[in-house]
Structure 1
């Protein structure tokens, strides 16, 4: 199937922007090559201040390369970007890094040190002023102030992730890059990280989230970009579902309809229908809300024992699988 090239236009009402109209990230035609291999190609999107933006795609799709490039760790082969209000150039590298933070999947803590000692080390490394106050604010933000003197070795993986997030908050970043922050966490620990991300959103922190957990992205993200070397689509999850899938009703009856064509094809706004199982039918309609009451009346009039009737629900996973049909990493082996 053909895919849509993403645009940099924000979906829905415009989120907060700076006075000069620039978002937190504005990326135009970003491309990175390693020899003959293209890691990311002509990537264009924008992220607004205070937005949680999800970056999704299979392994090898170019997500990490894009993040490393925007984080000044790699130089782009071509294209331009504005990061936290600054052009992405070598000359601006130090100042950009002062305005952003990157939390990798493995937080890289010194396990023999306490939580506070780990944070103090990074305060000194980055030459941040008011270190004691910064550490206290960061620990409060992740609800770990009472664990400040605990050895990092004694912490669960979920708590270590929270320490890593505290470290990323030490410089009060304008943009926070989170790379798989809940990878390997149990459901309770993952939920705690989700709550922290929600709290950061409320504080106005811009979050760029890469994740393989599609339900996580659907819950947390204002918009998502789906990446597979090129950026396939950008938008709100509900907007992407509407673009990729036709509107339809799912109808379940106790027994198969004796004359489904007669009942279903005559529904107001019905465009097509098909049977997916004994007594289960999908009817494509122009407006599910208007068609549902008419469908219920028609089915009852036809003598059907109606079990359920509802708009068909497509998840972000359905959108992802519709767009991503290639395992890039497997092809490169």
Structure 2
């Protein structure tokens, strides 16, 4: 659905986006993580045909980003929630959405149906006649999301969609995004919120001018050190360590009264490990998994220790 190959953007002598290559499937939620200035917004602006690419190729549903005729077709296929909402403050929520629906050549019946559906899903239908200039930042953000969907696009680009929202509103937006996925819409999400990315993204790319890595949240976490089982004992002795060394060929770490074992399939290996430890006289207090987090992966790949 979205393809980029060696996509590059220069601003003078500064390379803002450096030869990035990725693919987003139809119906997928793809998250872009990266620090400020990493090139996330620049990438979205190129894909949405708002700025020209300096080098490389990009395609949206087969249409060529950079081709003038294809650019108009791409704009009909996509919706964009930018980092700056840019609404008409003197108009009501309903009239803002109706205006943009007309720009997309939606019929009156389509506009009415879509506006009611979107404002209802975002829990702001009761504010439809209120001028958006009186809204909070979070409310304006919801209207911007509805505006991006007024023409029922196949692809939605979201640039920090929950940045101004309180926890309750953020959950409404996350649930809304997941509902869009059920409709087979493709979502491209820029975010700094690691928890948000982990909850809703099928794949994540970590960007810092260059694209450092792509994978599912679980793949990124496990890329740090794989799976490890932690066994906390009353006391660790030489007999327990020798027994485990004979049983396991992988790495074993002894840390005080804790033993950390590299495992491949914990469901199968953990019972064997526990039985071996108990058989060697060990008194186990608890067994748990040592899990890396998405934050650990993010900090590794953006170069932060």
TM-score, normalised by the number of residues in structure 1? 0.83
8 Å CA contact 1:270–1:283 kept in 2: the answer is no
CA contact (8 A) 1:26 1:82 kept: yes
- Structure 1 counterpart of 2:250: 271
SS at match of 1:101: strand
Alpha-carbon distance between aligned partners in 2 of 1:273 and 1:81, rounded to the nearest angstrom: 46
Match of 1:44 among 21, 28, 37: 21
Q: Are 1:70 and 1:81, in contact at CA under 8 Å, matched by a contact in 2?
A: yes
Q: Which has the higher helix share?
A: 2
Q: Which one of the candidate residues 148, 151, 158 is aligned to 1:178?
A: 158
Q: 1:299 matched to which residue of 2? A: 277
Report the equivalent of 1:311.
289
The 5 Å alignment of 1:46-65 reads 46-65=23-42
Q: What is the 5 A alignment of 1:212-291?
A: 212-253=192-233, 255-259=234-238, 261-266=241-246, 268-276=247-255, 278-291=256-269
Whether 1:34 aligns to 2:11 is yes
Distance 1:289 1:269, change over 3 A: farther
TM-fit CA distance, 1:138 = 3.0
1:177-215 superposed Cα distances (whole Å, 9 cap, x missing partner) = 011111132222211111111111111111000111111
**C-alpha distance in 2, partners of 1:182/1:229?**
23
- The alpha-carbon deviation at position 67 of structure 1 amounts to 0.6
- 1:96-245 alignment to 2 at 5 Å? 96-130=74-108, 131-245=111-225
Aligned equivalents of 1:156, 1:307: Cα separation in 2:
51
Any idea what the Cα deviations from partners look like across 1:293-331, whole Å, max 9, x if unmatched? 12111222233331221332222222212212159xxxx
Cα deviation, residue 281, structure 1:
2.5
The runs of 5 or more residues in structure 2 that have no matched partner are none
- Residue 291 of structure 2 corresponds to residue 321 of structure 1: no
**Quick one: distance in 1 between partners of 2:193 and 2:202?**
15
SS at match of 1:112: coil
Q: How many equivalent residue pairs?
A: 301
Displacement of 1:229 after TM fit?
Answer: 1.3
1:303 counterpart SS class: coil
Give the CA RMSD over aligned residues.
2.2
Change in 2 beyond 3 A, CA 1:105/1:279: farther
Q: Any stretches of 5+ residues in structure 1 without a counterpart?
A: 1-23, 328-333
Q: Secondary structure at the match of 1:58?
A: coil
**Alpha-carbon offset, residue 29 of structure 1:** 1.1
Do the aligned partners of residues 142 and 286 (structure 1) sit closer, same or farther apart at CA in structure 2, a change above 3 Å counting? closer
